[in-house]
Amino acid sequence: MEVSANTPAVVTGGASGLGAATAQALAAKGAKVAIFDMNEEKGEALAAELGGTFCKVNVTSEEEVDAGFAKAREAHGQERILVNCAGIGNAMKTASRDKTDGSIKHFPLSAFDFVIQVNLVGTFRCIAKSAAGMLTLEPLSDEGDRGAIVNTASVAAEDGQMGQAAYSASKGGVVGMTLPIARDLMREGIRVNTILPGIFNTPLMNAAPPQVKEALAASVPFPKRLGYPEEYARLAMTMIETGYFNGEDVRLDGAIRMAPR
């Protein structure tokens, strides 16, 4: 599907990082981009810069997601593109001993559930609602192409580190549902793909001390650096615009394989 002038698109987590880079790449091709995010200041500023629309959305909220899609569609029309970048992470061992007093604790189930609700259920919520909207559209070609969806997982879906049980489970779920969803939507001309990013130079990573970033960069086989958000955006655009790209989960990681810790 070619991205051209006025193609409606929605990017979740679009106010910064991977989502912002993707929103910029879409807008550069003329797409009308709606940014779903919880950061109003950054989201409003980027939407104004791109000539798009900001929608304050928490992907764990049914009501906010519905309101976000309604606002985006009123401004730009029914989206043909959805890119899911909204997500969170945490780190805690499944069970462990306190180093000072030897007391035993386990991963709080409420914290585990929260990560699943944002990264997995939130992603599926946006996919399901966007796909239902895309079903109302006329095909763009004789092949029946109606739209494209790109999701964000992580290399932690395949080689999660210590403390990443919740994060890895959530991202593994995104990988696991990609092919079934692509098959669910195959007769409707909606393609679904997922990117598994490695270590990227996002605002969250920028907060880390320089020595930490240098050590992480050195762990990447080649090139020995953190990934650029623009590289994620280029792969997302390839998935959107290449009609034979469907049902795939693709690592974008400089060949890194994460160590246990």
Confirm whether 167 is a catalytic residue.
yes
Closest by Cα among 192, 109, 114, 181 to 146: 192
pLDDT digits (tens, 9 = 90+) for 214-232: 888 999 999 999 999 999 9
**DSSP calls for 120-147:** IIHHHHHHHHHHHHHTTSPPSSTT---E
Res 207 pLDDT > 80:
no
Q: Does 206 score more than 80 pLDDT?
A: no
Cis peptide before 223 (omega within 30 of 0): yes
Q: Give me the mean pLDDT over the 136-163 stretch.
A: 96
- The rounded percent of the chain whose pLDDT value lies above 70 is 100
161-168 average pLDDT score? 94
Compute the mean pLDDT over every residue in the chain, rounded to the nearest whole number: 96
Decide if 87 contacts 98 (C-beta within 8 A). Answer: no
**Half-sphere exposure in the Cβ direction for 119 (13 Å, CA):** 28
219 or 203: which carries more pLDDT confidence?
A: 219
Identify the pLDDT of residue 261: 84
Which one is catalytic: 167, 228, 232, 244? 167
Reported confidence tier of residue 208, pLDDT bands at 50, 70, 90: confident
Q: What is the sign, positive or negative, of the torsion defined by CA atoms of 104, 105, 106, 107?
A: negative
